[in-house]
Amino acid sequence: MTKHLIFGLFTLLIFSGCANNNSGDKAAQNVERIPEVEAILSRMTLEEKVGQMAQLTLDALTVGENEYHTKEPLRLDMDLVQRALVDYNLGSVLNTASTRARSLEDWHTIVSTLQDVAINETRLGIPIIYGIDAIHGVTYTEGATFFPQQIGQAATWNPQLVRRAAEITAYETRASSLPWNFSPVLDIGRDPRFPRMWETFGEDIYLSSRLGVEMVKGYEGDDIGSKYHVASCPKHFIGYSTPLSGKDRTPAYIPEIELRERHLPPFADAIDAGAHTIMLNSGLINGVPVHASYQLVTELLKVELGFDGLVVTDWADIDNLHSRDRVAETPKEAVKLAINAGVDMAMIPYSLDFCDYLIELVQEGKVPEWRIDDAVRRILNTKYKLNLFETPVTHYEDYPLFGSEEHAKVAYRTAQESITLLKNEEDILPIESDSRILVAGPNANSMRPLNGGWTYSWQGELVDEFATDYSTILDAVREKVGDSNVRFFEGVRYNHDGGYWEDEAYDISGAVRAAANVDYIILALGENSYCEKPGDLHELTLSQNQLDLAKALAETGTPVILVLNQGRPRIIREIEPLMSGVINSYLPGNYGGLAIADVIFGDVNPSGKLPFTYPMYTNSLITYDHKPSEHQEKMAGAYDYESDFAVQYEFGFGLSYTTFEYSNLTLSSDELIEGGAVEVSVTVTNSGDRKGKEVVQLYSSDLYASITPDVRRLRAFEKISLQPEESKKITFTITPEDLSFINAENKRVVEPGQFEVHIDELTKKFTYIGH
């Protein structure tokens, strides 16, 4: 954990949008003074400063029916460009137009034109900063390399792969002339109902923090001014992913102790790792919109965590303070609340009224000019560090590895390591390559569900148009065993306008007929692509027609291998016992079909591990790090009832085609003192007959504490590769800081007492004695 989390500075339950000048001044004073930036800032008018704080989406600058719809082929409307960049001194542009992927040439033309106007037709010649959501690759660039979505990358438990994927994404983002990436998502995926769970690293704090740091470092490198790196933007600060309803942008109720214990560490660690920008939570915490919370944005983020970079809103979230959340009576008041709370840049994204309102607010004395200077300094610092004043546009010709085989190999390997084998009854997998196979299910022959949202478009509905050169699950199976050994039953076609296929009928009787005289059935089920609000659910259970299909195929007596292709764990309790094998592929990207087939046919030994707890029931959504009272087998006395703790598969679980044995768990000492460390060692042996990778996971349990402790917490992990009969000794280090927690006074403490460490089924105790 980070050093920033030691003491609490605010009481979360009494947020307000009013400014405390002492904290605000401190936040402003902590921002780096770069001489070149200060020289520009000193010459700027109020209007020029406010313009830098504004960000428009590309659709607002193009030829179209209106500001929301671009006419294809895309052309910039130079009157709109002049108005925004020259008249209003616009500081930033984001997004593609019509949420559609563009070619490298298109991107270079768009950004070059905008930069030419900003630099050559304005008084001070300040370049714009262009931002994009490059979530698992460069979302809106044709030919980009697409990796598994973040939840799949988490399933690899491989920090080196996560960093390399981020490095490649940064390279290809810069090849697209784009220097700012709205990634990674550092919200904690602790509620499987949440439609953006697949954009997270899963439910665990440590796993999310560690992989988040790797992604930030991969994007930013040692210098974001390098033409191969970008500015990262961890999001959505803070508490976005656990709304009470499970639905996007609905209220969350999070006590400060929980916010500090679970939600804050990944952001704090990303800031320590050098993240240059942060995006805010679109929702509300305890009834207060985060965009209006001075306590969260200024006191917590900027002062306590020491963040001296750029804070940007999410889409239209200043206006939402008025139109949706009703904490501001007018749009102008919404601007006042947000800027005084500590917002630096407004993702408007269409109207320039924001600028007019903010100028008026400063002139009326309702927003202090020092707050404007602070925001603009942060924006200009980011542009300067990105080297935009020297190189406002990068050129795709300088990036020969864009979409290359070298990059593809990394994406392919990441997909392979993400695939998680959850069930392998009687070692039915891997399948022999001369088997007769039926491939069925609506996810079997489309690239769209393999990629999910943020792929060539916002909702991912254009994937099948842009990804024709890649292999679906069906294509990949045919490549393994030959067309003559594969029978395919489609049964349903996708709704390409963005709707879920699962609402449509599937020809179940036809699938059953197609299953005659085959050796195995590969059944691809799960979800269609979605993103953000359109992904909200009323029911987490897999749709009824999918369940019925699985049951009918199981009744044929032919072994069924269930391939789950989904962004969150849909409940499969009714059909799981009927399946001979279960594979979770998450959203593995363009190489996911090949990776799934590699695992099914044994060319790759699966090594993915669940980054979340897979639920069994819709009313038993629990995480592995729950409290002891959440796992009660029997009430004191004589009343028997079903256990509270009922999960389909546990966090960190994943099978292999080989076996691993753990032995010789040892501690360097049975006592830990303040400032000291205990080394934890274990020997891992590949006791099977084939090479395999294993994730060695170290957990700790605080046996007694001043508040009820979690039953266990992940403290360290390492992914290793072992040949048959090979053994390796793995050593981890535990420090007092690793054992710390937020206490009832909202302070991070370590309390003396007994602890247990767990690796696999091995356990040892030690005592922390403090001073």
- Catalytic machinery residues: 314
Q: Quote the tokens at residue 71.
A: 């006419």
Q: How far is CA 57 from the centre of its chain?
A: 22
Burial pattern 431-448, b for ≥16 Cβ within 10 A else e, equals beeeeebbbbbbbbbbbb
Q: Shortest CA distance to 358 belongs to which of 331, 328, 379, 321? A: 331
Report whether 574 contacts 590 (CB < 8 A).
no
Q: Where are the beta strands (DSSP E) in 175-222?
A: 180-181
Residue 474, SS3 per DSSP: helix
Report in angstroms the alpha-carbon separations of 234 from 198, 270, 531: 15, 7, 18
**Termini Cα distance of the chain:** 20
Burial pattern 290-325, b for ≥16 Cβ within 10 A else e, equals bbbbbbbbbbbbbbbbebbbbbbbbbbbbbbbbeeb
Place of tokens 């274990």: 682
Beta strand 277-279 pairing with 310-312? parallel
Q: At what angle do helices 369-385 and 353-363 cross, to 10 degrees?
A: 130
List beta partners, residue 277.
310
Report whether 254 contacts 12 (CB < 8 A).
yes
Q: What DSSP string describes 295-354?
A: IIIIIIIIIIS---SEEE--TTHHHHHHHTS-SSSSHHHHHHHHHHHT--BEE--S-THH
Say which residues have a Cβ less than 8 Å from residue 714's Cβ, sequence separation at least 6: 204, 205, 206, 207, 625, 652, 697, 698, 699
Other beta carbons less than 10 A from residue 768's beta carbon: 20
Report in angstroms the alpha-carbon separations of 600 from 152, 605, 658: 18, 9, 14
Angle, CA of 633, 635 and 636, to the nearest 5°: 125
The secondary structure element, H or E, covering residue 163 is helix 159-175
Give CA–CA dist 540/524, Å, rounded: 18
Report in angstroms the alpha-carbon separations of 416 from 404, 408, 723: 18, 12, 18
* Phi (first) and psi of residue 173, to 5 degrees: -70, -45
Report whether 410 contacts 168 (CB < 8 A).
yes
